[in-house]
Chains A and B, each alone.
Chain A
Amino acid sequence: MESSILVNQLIVVGRRKNYTVNFNPGVNIIYGDSNTGKSTIVNLIDYLLGAKNFNLYPEIDAAARYAALDVTLNEDRYTIKRDLFNPNALIEVYTCPFDKVEQYSCRKYLPNFQKPSGSDDSGYFSDFLLDALNLPNIKLKESPSKDDSKLARLSFRDLFKYCYVDQDNLGDKRFFNPENWAVATKNKEVFKYIFNALDSHISEIQNQISEKTKQKNKLVDTYSTVSDFLRESEFASMVSLDAEIENIDSDIENLNMQILELNQRQIADTEVYNTIRSELNKISLEKRALTLLMREQETKIERFTRLKNDYLNDINKFMATLSAMNGIGEVNQQIEICPVCDNTLNVEIARERFDVANEEKISHEINALKRRARETESIAHETKRLWELNKVKLAELELAETNAIHLQEMNTKELSSPYLAERDMYVSKLGELQQKRKDIVSKLKVRNQHSTLNKSINSLETKITQLQEQLAELSKNTPSLSNVLSDLADNLRDYLIAVKIKSPTGIKFNEQTFLPQVRDIDYARITSGGLRTIVGVGYLCSLMQEALNRTMNFPSFLMIDTVGKYLGKTKDQKYAPDSTDTAADSMEAVSDPNKYQNMFEYIIKLSEMYENQNKTCQFILVDNDVPDHIVDKLSGFIIAHFSSERVNGLPVGFIDDADLM
């Protein structure tokens, strides 16, 4: 029975944009400087496949909203969506590629076994994955040697340990051989499970078949009920819904175009409006200047008119003076004595206090005043004339102003109001269409859900068939674990010879621990960290290779973080030197770049074998740097390459705009 996990795309939905990495079937290589988010990518995949938690990197923390994984499990495409900040939030699964998510409704799963399932109608994410991969969902004995042992649920995570090695575990002595006895026992049980070597396997498969058949029948019922309902309620078909959405989309585009055009026209109208306004401003400025000038002229007229009147009054007074001089005549210059008090009445005093002028001088003054009166008169007259002219000008300006204001009103009324009405119309239409689109999309969700039911039925049928085949095969020849181990040892030997380690002898699998031995030394006792890395990768590869030939409960997926660990080629020696015996490393010559290259070539060959058998597999390999001389050979497999210095325009990391925040 073949199972496969094929990651198509990893998406981190960010606030500003989405960060994506695309994956291919077969080998995928991610490399780049440390701290550029390589491990983030594999950690995210791990997290989206149900890991307990996810270490938030600052860049992700700042930029991301949630993560999604577009993945093909066996034949079916799924999108898994998970909250990055709350690992206990329900995981959403859509039965469609990521870009169609909005048209499908999702199922929600509990990320772990902590809460009882069914509490809010959601099952366990692990069950979903096992189911989707058509792997038997069983319980394992905690103490395999006892018949009445407690049973523990097999989780997808137990299995996934064989599919993903992070950079801490790879090459570690405790890799697959934890000091915790319970975990070690479980690992062994899982190993047996992978190779269908569990005692209870046949009965488990029978259970599985009956379970799945039950499920299928239930689904068939549901499907036909829903079909009837949809038919009776004259629910639009998927095809017509799709067509309708397409129509609405083109209508929306048209409307947007029209609104854009309208906006452009309004800009042109605004130009006219601005011209009128500047003209109005000019007119009002001129008007003010003119009014000011006219007021000055009015003052001038008043002043000169008054002055003229003064002159005329003065002329009259001088005329009167002349008359008085004639009438009264010269005044005697004598001194009288008051008959009562003997004071002198001095007439001369009066002469000192008043002007005494002769006739000639007064006549001269009268003439001068007459002339001045005429002059002031003519100035006042001229000013009056100018004022009249200005008055006409002012009237003209006022007319122009009235016209301009009228024009402005016309412009606003005749041009803007219909524009606004038109725009309102478009906008409301647009709103209607968008609402309608939403309605149809939700209808489409119903349809999609319905067809998903059908798909599930089909996939259940396939799974049942597969299980039946497996059952038949198992009942024919139950695999013996020693056969399995010897086959695995053959695979490992092929690999170690291909990698060209020194003296590839004594290669077998320990019958107790199910772990590899080289030169009859248990994996955990190998002193060279580099060799442990090579053997560890080989161990996992031998499982991958075995899955080609044998019916296994293994999803043909391998994700290795820092393939070159302890191989002495990594720029950044961040691993504690006591984890590896450097002397042993140099003895083994693990830093020989050829060995590294051989490992890659072996993996590539393995994926080609899958391809030749028309089977699906996926390797995701992460490393700090790939030596230059093999980059060319591997270039076809590199899916992401980061450079913290942005060398050659390479992205700075997975979150490629972190430095812009």
Chain B
Amino acid sequence: MLPFISPDDNFHLNLGIVLIVTQTLGESSRGALKLNNERLHIYTYLVKNPVKLNLFLNVLGKGSALISPKDAYSVTSISSNVDPLFDRRNLKALITTLVGESLISVIYKKKDGFFYKLSDSGLEKANQLNTEYFYEVRLLCDTLKSTLSSSTSSLNKALNQVMQKEIISDGK
């Protein structure tokens, strides 16, 4: 065990983030269900790494997010941890917990598979998350709304490009 605790790996923090992502990006403006495992995975990763999110939007040509200078100018921003992108077990554990607590509902759509949306109690709990950090997460999720209409494969492609850029610039 490290002598300090890392906030990024905190259970409740991550539950809160998934709640907010599901709240903000669960449905399109016209009420269509959007959040399957893949999208949830991408969006959660991006809101936890705002610098990457910014690059992601740039690649997709969807403008850029307003990220705070604290995020941009930090040690985390110049290091990149891509492990969470290839490991979905953490996310599944979180979803299991939230489903078990009846905060997220799972809906099966014919042809498209399973989608997630907040339950009523989930919505209530999400609205209680009002600290500065969760506020920022909400803002970031808002900027991602424009990507809801893109296919998951195009999102994956964009994410790949962002990671490659990172690798290239690291290799400099």
Contacts and interface: CB of A to CB of B under 8 A. Distances in A.
Interface residues of B, number: 43
A331 B101 contact: yes
Nearest to B48: A317
Contacts of B94: 350, 354
Given A319-B133, A323-B128, A331-B101, A349 B7 contact: no
Interface string A290-314: 0000000000000101110110111
Most buried by B among A336, A345, A355: A355
B4 interface: yes
Contact of B73 (A305, A324, A325): A305
13 contacts: A303-B75, A309-B69, A312-B70, A313-B74, A316-B132, A321-B12, A323-B16, A327-B129, A328-B16, A328-B19, A331-B101, A353-B90, A368-B4
Contacts of B5: 355, 357, 361-362, 365
B73 A306 contact: yes
A148 to B, nearest CB: 119
A128 interface: no
A310 B75 contact: yes
Interface string B73-101: 11111100000000001100110110111
Given A332-B101, A353-B89, 8 more contacts: A306-B78, A309-B71, A316-B131, A317-B8, A323-B131, A327-B128, A349-B93, A357-B5
Contact of A313 (B15, B16, B70): B70
Nearest to B114: A340
Contacts of B97: 331, 347, 350
Interface in A327-346: 327-328, 331-332, 334, 336, 345-346
A345 B100 contact: yes
Contacts, number: 129
B13, B78, B96, B125: residue with the most chain A Cβ atoms closer than 10 Å: B13
B112 interface: no
A351 interface: yes
A357 B96 CA distance: 20
A583 interface: no
A549 interface: no
Interface in B112-139: 125-126, 128-134, 136
A345 B5 CA distance: 27
Contacts of B136: 316
B130 A313 contact: no
A349 B90 CA distance: 9
Contacts of B76: 310, 313
B103 interface: yes
Interface string B38-80: 0000000000000000000000000000000111011111100
A349 B93 CA distance: 6
Contacts of A354: 9-11, 14, 90, 93-94
Contacts of A353: 89-90, 93
A328 B101 contact: yes
Interface of A: 303, 305-307, 309-310, 312-314, 316-328, 331-332, 334, 336, 345-347, 349-351, 353-357, 361-362, 365, 368
B96 A350 contact: yes
B149 interface: no
Nearest to A327: B128
B169 interface: no
Interface of B: 4-16, 19, 69-71, 73-78, 89-90, 93-94, 96-97, 99-101, 103, 125-126, 128-134, 136
Nearest to A317: B7
Contact of B13 (A321, A332, A345): A321
Which A-B residue pairs are the 10 nearest by beta carbons?
Answer: A324-B16, A317-B7, A350-B93, A354-B11, A320-B133, A327-B128, A324-B12, A316-B133, A309-B74, A321-B13
Contacts of B101: 328, 331-332
A201 to B, nearest CB: 117
Contact of A320 (B16, B73, B77, B103): B16
A361 B97 CA distance: 23
B96 A346 contact: yes
Nearest to A318: B7
A321 B73 contact: no
Contacts of A323: 16, 128-131, 134
B74 A310 contact: yes
Contacts of B9: 354-355
B128 A351 contact: no
B2 to A, nearest CB: 10
B93 A306 contact: no
A327 B75 contact: no
Contact of B131 (A307, A310, A319): A319
A332 B19 CA distance: 17
A14 to B, nearest CB: 75
B128 A334 contact: no
A485 to B, nearest CB: 121
Contact of A319 (B4, B73, B132): B132
A336 B14 CA distance: 21
Nearest to B90: A353
A277 B7 CA distance: 59
Nearest to A346: B96
Contacts of A356: 10-12
Interface centre among A313, A326, A347 (most CB of B within 10 A): A313
Nearest to A368: B4
A97 B158 CA distance: 108
A309 B73 contact: yes
A314 B75 CA distance: 12
Nearest to A357: B5
Contacts of A327: 16, 125-126, 128-129
Contacts of B89: 353
Contacts of A368: 4
A320 B125 contact: no
A609 B16 CA distance: 146
Contacts of B4: 365, 368
Nearest to B50: A313
Which of A322, A324, A334 counts the most chain B CB atoms within 10 A?
Answer: A324
